[in-house]
Amino acid sequence: MTNTSGVPARRLAIKALRRIVDDGAYANLALPPLLDRSSLDERDKRLVTELVYGTTRMLRACDFLVDRFVLDEVDPEVRAALRLGAYQLHYLRVPSHAAVDATVGAVKGRGKSVVNAVLRRVADAEVAWPDLATELSYPDWIVALLTKELGAEKATRALVTMNEAASVHTRDDGYVQDPASQLVADAVEAKAGHRVIDLCAAPGGKATDLASRGAAVIASDLRPNRVRLTKRNIDGLGAAVPVVTADGRQPPFRAGTFDRVLIDAPCSGLGSLRRRADARWRIEADAPARLADLQFDLVVAGLDLVKPGGTLVFSVCTLTNVESTGVLAAVREHFPTLELLPVPAGSWEAKGAVGYLLPDEHDGMSIWRVRKPMSAA
């Protein structure tokens, strides 16, 4: 007799996977409404979440595991079921009879026999991975770039870490914030009475952190919907932080009036890939260079706002050279009188004047800081 427990959870997971992989929906937007509308209990909802995010993350590896035994083209539902089955067998270590039966039970019609035959072979076969990018389930370009820039050992460690779900860290005031972000806020060295502007502030994590240290902070961001979210977060914390909607490249503030300017810039996000299961499949190989141009423009505008003797702090949740040392080199070439501040003490590793954190308990991050001279730069 076939054991049918777990079938509804697999059926929902297949539906969600098809939305994400076949229709291009964002994983974090596609899954929650499907879960809300389902009648699954909380335990099964957690299982579906793990199955969908995990299979999305490990998609390339799961395809390799099943493609060894798939002889003909399969339809999208069967492909989704095979990926899901491979994820359960290989990564969740669900006993093979349970994983195969429940997954086969979630497929309609003739596809059942293909899913059954292929998953039984996946369950039994040894794996010989063809290369690291397939094994760790990343696009080739991400593995190649991080390996070239960080070295094989650090790159592999970072990539392995970002295949695990991020843990949740909550600040004393209840705001959920990655510890790396708190280290960036520390590096701003904002003091009570300082005027601080965060030019890329949404959803407000660092701005509220800086305000809690007694600084007078303004939170500004380009995107109106993200500014609204920031305002809700600030109000929820009862913080006194004005919010502004503005392009950071043309900030509506008087030049030379801020003690601290934070540019927590939009970036390729290669240090925080574990936060979005589908992010690695969306980012394009030319994104780091494209974003570095935007980051440079944001820094130029930000520097104009810094008081003589004040500092600008630049941070990105990525690990590429072009978005860290590259932007800094271009900035120093344009503004040769800027004083380079040391890499913050503590957890940061130094790459020249850039400090970086590999993904660990916290996200991967890069940071650098400069001070404007007292006389006009």
Residue 360: partners with Cβ closer than 8 Å, 6 or more residues away = 161
Shorter beta-carbon distance to ligand SAM: residue 81 or 197: 197
Give the Cα separation of 351 and 197 in Å (integer): 26
Alpha carbon of 334 to those of 253, 309, 314: distances in Å? 22, 18, 16
> Taking CB under 6 A as the rule, does residue 276 contact ligand SAM?
no
Regarding 203 and contact with ligand SAM (CB under 6 A), the answer is yes
Least distance to ligand SAM from the beta carbon of 221, Å? 5
| Member of 85, 205, 271, 344 binding ligand SAM (CB under 6 A) | 205
Rounded CA separation 329/292 (Å): 11
Direct distance between the N- and C-terminal alpha carbons of the chain, in angstroms, rounded to an integer: 80
Rounded Cα–Cα distance for residues 3 and 103 (Å): 11
Tokens of 33: 């409404």
198 is a site residue for ligand SAM (CB under 6 A): yes
Task: Give least dist CB 176 to ligand SAM, A.
Answer: 11
Q: Rounded to an integer, what is the distance from CA 91 to the centroid of its chain? A: 21
Minimum distance, C-beta of residue 222 to ligand SAM, in the bound complex (Å)? 4
For the record, the structure tokens of 145 come out as 């770039």
Give 259 or 264: the residue with its C-beta nearer to ligand SAM.
264
Under the binding rule (CB under 6 A), the answer on residue 181 touching ligand SAM is yes
Q: Is 223 in the site for ligand SAM (CB under 6 A)?
A: yes
Site string for ligand SAM, 250-269 (x = CB under 6 A): --------------x-x---
Annotated catalytic residue 200: no
Distance of CA 239 to the CA centre of its chain: 26
Nearer to ligand SAM, 168 or 376 (CB): 168
Is residue 226 within the footprint of ligand SAM (CB under 6 A)? Answer: yes
CA dist 296 and 71 (Å) reads 50
CA distance 240 to 159: 39
**Which one, 61 or 227, has the nearer CB to ligand SAM?**
227
Where on the chain is the footprint of ligand SAM (CB under 6 A)?
Answer: 181, 198-206, 221-223, 226, 247-249, 264, 266
The catalytic residues are 317
